[in-house]
Structure 1
Amino acid sequence: MQDIHISVIGCGSRGREVVGNFLSAGKGRVHVCSAYDPSAESIDAARLRWNLPDLHAAASPQEAIADAQADLVAIFTPNAKHCEMILAALAAGKRVFSEKPLGITIEQCRSIIEAEKRAGLRIMTGFVLRYSPIYRKVKELLDSGTFGSILSIAASEHRLSFAGGNSMSADYGWRRFRDQAGPYLLEKCCHDFDLLNWFIGGKPSRIAGFAGLDFFVPCHANLWNKYDHAVFASMVPEEHRINPFTSDKDIYDNHAVILEYPNGVKVNFTLTLANAIPERRMYISCTEGTIIVNSDEYFIRYRRYGEPADTTLRYDCTGTHGGGDAVMAKEVIDALLHGGQTDISGSSNGLDCALVALAADESMRTGRIVSMEDLLK
């Protein structure tokens, strides 16, 4: 196949990282023909990161999408703009790579999948944890059949105070607003729900959720000055920092979700946004053994019935997203250049994990158990 020419929509830190990885993986066969970002500073940073001093800065996303050289549009906008950009790219006959989530409403996700079918083009999505070696090993162990079938999974993502606080403490931050990011479960935990669906083999049938905004609230505002501001805002430039406890926001900072799958598997998932000790962990109970994966401490531990001791596997997860970013870039570029890759995460994965997050949020807001069947009517 011919070389790949990319138009980039959104040149913030995530866009710069992913496209930089695409360029490295392409080994001279991947080119950025144009890029759009409303921030001239971000465009300049992209030129530096990609070593493209003469990179064309489009005046609008429409101009970047319409670039005659481009055969792939890579989208890294705030979440609320994903749908609009994806639909425009498909209408222009371009293939699409979009950062997660696919959209921030069920209607948006459906419209994207319908447009993809009409266009006969492929959407690739950035569910990067599927590519992380540590999670691929878990999938391999489960698929081996030697652990039997999954009974239940206890999963958690406990984020450090700065990881949660960065969303709350930037004066330019959009992730603290539902109309720009969707619920936080969708913004950050679509990765976790994608992994759960992947391991279990489908999407849940019933979902219940409980949540609150209980930490990043005014009654804890004294903590902003009690500790160094970096405790809550280490990734936010000092001139853009605001008190995360008094900033405007309409998202939750602690969540508990219960999922029931059609095959009988039960899952409980917990997300918290302010911790001194981080943990991203799954405890997978199977009919013939147990698997524990902790990507913050870089290990898998497992044991089958009848085995005399646990087996522990250590992983180098120091690359971004547990090494998944580099693997994703290689496999996406290989698929674009050579075809044949069927396991690249796509729009159906994006829809399924978005449904889980949005159903859980619906339960949190209404206090009722949500049926996936009813949600899809």
Structure 2
Amino acid sequence: MRKVGIGVLGAGYAGNVHAEILSRDQRAKIVAVCESDPEAARLFGFRYGAKVYSAYHDLLSDPEVEAVYITTPNYLHSEQAIAAMNEGKNVFSEKPMAINLEEARKVLETARRSGMKYQIGLSRRFWPVYKFVKELIDFGKLTPHLADIKMSRGELKRPSWVSDQKSSGGFLFESVLHVLDLARWLMGEIETISCSATSSVYKQLDDFAIVMKTERGKIVTVTSSAHASWIFPFERVEIYGDHSCIITEEATRVSYSDGLESEVVVHDFSQVPKNRSWGFEEEDKLFIDSILLERKAAVDEFEAYKSIELVEACYRSARTGQEIELPL
């Protein structure tokens, strides 16, 4: 059986999550890791039998590496993805694709020019709770007219670089990016965005109220705070149809009412292992599938670019006080 040689850039939390999953996939082999922390690199190399590099260009030159997982701080993603694809490596990148639209365009263009697979880690699309919502919408059982999304992060302290806007790109490039993408995926293409934001606790904009309108005239509201504590549920989606409603609570539970006098259906995923309920297992499987079976990436470079466009539109609206039209 052919095995895809994997190189991992970054041996932090995300790098180890993907490595643990890939180590159980008989179609993949973790070949190498690049990490600036020598002890983290040593432990990763020991655990997975991987070669250790201190410079990512050296890892990209390794002929055993066929695909690269990018799990480094946000500001490095675009540079490393472009370098990897130029070296003929397939790329799985944790979100965001880049921390500005200009760099995102460069990644998009490189992926298309090189012909390499590029998949972005917008893992909410693989959460069972959201897949259930998507299926109801796609099969016509729920016609979404209005959506209200809450994404509250407990803090910008772990990892330490997320509070540094030069490293992260800003709060919206963190967890909020997931729900902005989710809004587009569930409700349809976004046509306009209005955003109000303030800096309340951190030295960057950390409280957001966002209103999005879709091409079909549907409305999505997103509220997010970077200093809310981790009280359950930190993430909640409510979608309203014709006297129907669906409500999600993190990756744990989804409740659906399809009429005024109908029974409320509840799916509880609290006993499902986190790597599965948070979508990591499925996105990794699909990435390996795309390489071995020569399929389109599950969440490709265009979808990644559109997520950056949503973030950029929010920041532009917050700065100018104006409604922003898409595409940019």
- TM-score calculated relative to the size of structure 1: 0.81
Structure having greater relative contact order (Cα 8 Å, sep ≥ 6): 1
Give per-residue Cα distances to partners, 1:73-127, cap 9 Å, x unaligned.
Answer: 1111111111111111111111111111000111111111111111111101111
Give, as a single letter, the amino acid of the residue that structure 1 aligns with 2:148: A
Q: What's the CA shift for 1:307?
A: 4.2
Give, as a single letter, the amino acid of the residue that structure 1 aligns with 2:145: L
Asked if the contact 2:6–2:32 (Cα under 8 Å) also holds between the matched residues in 1, the reply is: yes
Equivalents in 1 of 2:276, 2:226: separation in Å? 18
Equivalents in 2 of 1:200, 1:268: separation in Å? 11
**1:1-377 aligned within 5 A:** 2-24=2-24, 26-27=25-26, 29-50=27-48, 52=49, 55-147=50-142, 149-160=143-154, 164-167=155-158, 173-202=160-189, 204-216=190-202, 250-276=203-229, 277-279=231-233, 280-287=235-242, 289-295=244-250, 298-305=252-259, 307-316=261-270, 319-320=274-275, 322-340=277-295, 342=296, 344-373=298-327, 376=328
Q: 1:314 to 1:345 in 2, by over 3 A?
A: same
Give per-residue Cα distances to partners, 1:157-179, cap 9 Å, x unaligned.
Answer: 1233xxx1424xx6xx2211222
Give per-residue Cα distances to partners, 1:34-78, cap 9 Å, x unaligned.
Answer: 22111102202312443x2xx321231111011111111111111
Q: What's the CA shift for 1:194?
A: 1.5
Equivalents in 2 of 1:332, 1:94: separation in Å? 13
User: What root-mean-square deviation, in Å, do the aligned CA atoms of Structure 1 and Structure 2 show?
Assistant: 2.0
Give, as a single letter, the amino acid of the residue that structure 2 aligns with 1:36: C
Give, as a single letter, the amino acid of the residue that structure 1 aligns with 2:118: I
Q: What's the CA shift for 1:215?
A: 3.0
Q: What's the CA shift for 1:321?
A: 7.7
Asked if the contact 2:6–2:68 (Cα under 8 Å) also holds between the matched residues in 1, the reply is: yes
Asked if the contact 1:183–1:358 (Cα under 8 Å) also holds between the matched residues in 2, the reply is: no
Q: What's the CA shift for 1:308?
A: 2.8
Equivalents in 1 of 2:262, 2:315: separation in Å? 43
Q: Percent identity?
A: 24
Asked if the contact 1:210–1:363 (Cα under 8 Å) also holds between the matched residues in 2, the reply is: yes
Asked if the contact 2:34–2:56 (Cα under 8 Å) also holds between the matched residues in 1, the reply is: yes
Asked if the contact 2:4–2:29 (Cα under 8 Å) also holds between the matched residues in 1, the reply is: yes
Equivalents in 2 of 1:138, 1:322: separation in Å? 14
Q: Determine helix, strand or coil for the equivalent of 1:114.
A: helix
Matched positions, count:
325
Q: 1:6 to 1:308 in 2, by over 3 A?
A: closer
Equivalents in 2 of 1:318, 1:255: separation in Å? 31
Equivalents in 2 of 1:321, 1:331: separation in Å? 13
Aligned to 1:227: none
Give, as a single letter, the amino acid of the residue that structure 2 aligns with 1:75: I
Equivalents in 1 of 2:18, 2:36: separation in Å? 19
Equivalents in 2 of 1:268, 1:201: separation in Å? 14
Select the structure of larger CA radius of gyration.
1
Q: Determine helix, strand or coil for the equivalent of 1:302.
A: strand
Give per-residue Cα distances to partners, 1:121-159, cap 9 Å, x unaligned.
Answer: 110111111111111111111112022x32110000123
- TM-score calculated relative to the size of structure 2: 0.92
Give, as a single letter, the amino acid of the residue that structure 1 aligns with 2:28: V
Q: What's the CA shift for 1:33?
A: 2.1
Q: 1:271 to 1:306 in 2, by over 3 A?
A: closer
